[in-house]
Amino acid sequence: MDDIDPVGLAVPFFILAIVLELLLGRLGWARARYEPKDTFTSLAMGLGSSVAGLATAGVIFAASLWVYQHRLFDIPMTAIWAWVLIFLLEDKTYYWFHRLSHERRFWWASHVNHHTSQHYNLSTALRQTWTGGVAGTWLLWLPLSLIGFPPAMVAIQKGISLVYQFWIHTEAIGRMPRWFEAVFNTPSHHRVHHARNPRYLDRNYAGILIIWDRMFGTFQSELEAEPCRYGVVKNLATFNPIRVAFHEWAAIGRDLLRARSLREAALYVFGPPGWSPDGSRETSHQIRARWAAGQGAEGLSPAAAEAIAPTPDAHSGSPA
């Protein structure tokens, strides 16, 4: 069981599913938009990500093993309850990893490339980071090994989560049955997550279960009246995978060169994406607030405007 790699096993399925989506789109039987250069960038990012992952895989595995040696409990990999428990704990970890990756620029720099496509199709799912290992978000999963889950079990559950999230990157599926939409992350929920409309910014961070967003106040349903516009706040004007992978890191470096104090430097790196000392840029929080104010001016009641406005403790966002 230690050798199971859900993502590796699923690669043929990924390819076949993309072919199927393309054909259904070509035949007009399903909504699917593909632009060849965009598709190339997404797939090249996916391939590059698996290669880049090899560079840090050893360190991550060694760290997981070291932590596991200091575990608090012995959790058997063969027990069903252990799998149920890790499913929930891993998914909650993913939620916070994902939220952190949107709300703090250092981690956004690694994650942003996944959001750079102006399309939303199954190839977008493969537009993965090249710098995740360096960004260190894998540290968030170490507590699972400290509790006592074997590192292989954690890795398998992470893989299952990634495989699950593949199929939700599509416009071909409208909505799932109501009970499913209530509990699970779905294409509809995740379309919202990839949208750049102010209303949809920094919503729906879920991996498999959407319940975390509902619990932590970041849920937004897809509205018929407001179709998703995909991409980032400042869309990229390039399909070059190298630029896609590193552009936000380069932007951070540039900002650091003009930082006038340590505080400024720290906020450029760890502040919300879009933060600037003079307010010349906007964070997602500010974009949403401006938009919500505009909605209020257009006739929404104050209560309704408040309901769509961001909460002050979060959602400070991910404009690129």
Partner 1 sequence: MDKAFLIQFTGSMAAVAVLVGLAAWARIGRPSPGLDEARARDLLAEDFPDRQVDQLWIAREGRGALARSGACALVLIQVGDGYAARRLSWCQASSAMFRNGLLDIHLDEVAAPRAVLAFDNWPPKDLAA
Is residue 206 near partner 1 by the rule CB under 8 A?
no
175 binds partner 1 (CB under 8 A): no
CB of 122 to partner 1, least distance (A): 10
Selected from 61, 96, 246, 277, the binder of partner 1 by CB under 8 A is 246
Query: Distance between CA atoms of 99 and 113, rounded to whole angstroms?
Result: 15
Q: Which position among 35, 165, 199, 309 is part of the footprint of partner 1 (CB under 8 A)? A: 35
Alpha-carbon distance of 206 to 165, in angstroms, equals 9
| 4 near partner 1, judged by CB under 8 A | no
Q: How near is the Cβ of 303 to partner 1 at its closest, in Å?
A: 23
In the numeric block, the tokens 């006592």 are attached to 148
Q: Is 285 in the site for partner 1 (CB under 8 A)?
A: no
Residue 14 tokens read as: 């990924």
- By CB under 8 A, is residue 263 in contact with partner 1? no
Percentages helix, strand, coil for the chain (3-state, rounded to 5) are 60, 0, 40
With contact defined as beta carbons under 8 Å apart, do 207 and 157 qualify? no
The residue within the footprint of partner 1, chosen from 4, 9, 13, 19 (CB under 8 A), is 19
User: Which residue, 171, 194, 170, 186, is CA-closest to 102?
Assistant: 194
**Binder to partner 1 among 147, 251, 267, 314 (CB under 8 A)?**
251
How many CA atoms does the CB half-sphere of 279 hold within 13 Å?
Answer: 3
Q: Applying CB under 8 A, does 235 fall inside the site for partner 1? A: yes
| DSSP secondary structure code for residue 310 in this structure | P
Query: Could you tell me the smallest distance in angstroms from the CB atom of residue 19 to partner 1?
Result: 6
- Contact between 206 and 189 (Cβ < 8 Å): yes
Of the pair 132, 231, the CB lying nearest partner 1 is at 231
CA dihedral 229, 232, 235, 236 (to 10 degrees): -130
Contact between 238 and partner 1 per CB under 8 A: yes
Task: Using the minimum distance from each CB to partner 1, give the nearer residue, 51 or 80.
Answer: 51
What span, in angstroms and rounded, lies between the C-alpha atoms of 85 and 298?
Answer: 47
- How many helices and strands, by DSSP H and E, does the chain display? 15, 0
Restricted to residues 38-97, the positions that interact with partner 1 (CB under 8 A) are: 38-40, 43-44, 47, 50-51, 54
Decide if residue 258 touches partner 1 (CB under 8 A): no
CB of 179 to partner 1, least distance (A): 32
Residue 236 found at the interface with partner 1 (CB under 8 A): yes
Q: What residue has token string 């043929």?
A: 12
Interatomic CA distance for residues 135 and 140, integer angstroms? 11
Least CB distance from residue 93 to partner 1, whole Å? 28
Give least dist CB 222 to partner 1, A.
Answer: 18
Whether 127 and 114 have beta carbons less than 8 Å apart is answered as yes
Name the residues that contact partner 1, by CB under 8 A: 11, 15, 18-19, 22-23, 25-26, 32-40, 43-44, 47, 50-51, 54, 118-119, 123, 229, 231, 234-239, 243-244, 246-248, 250-251, 290-291, 294, 320
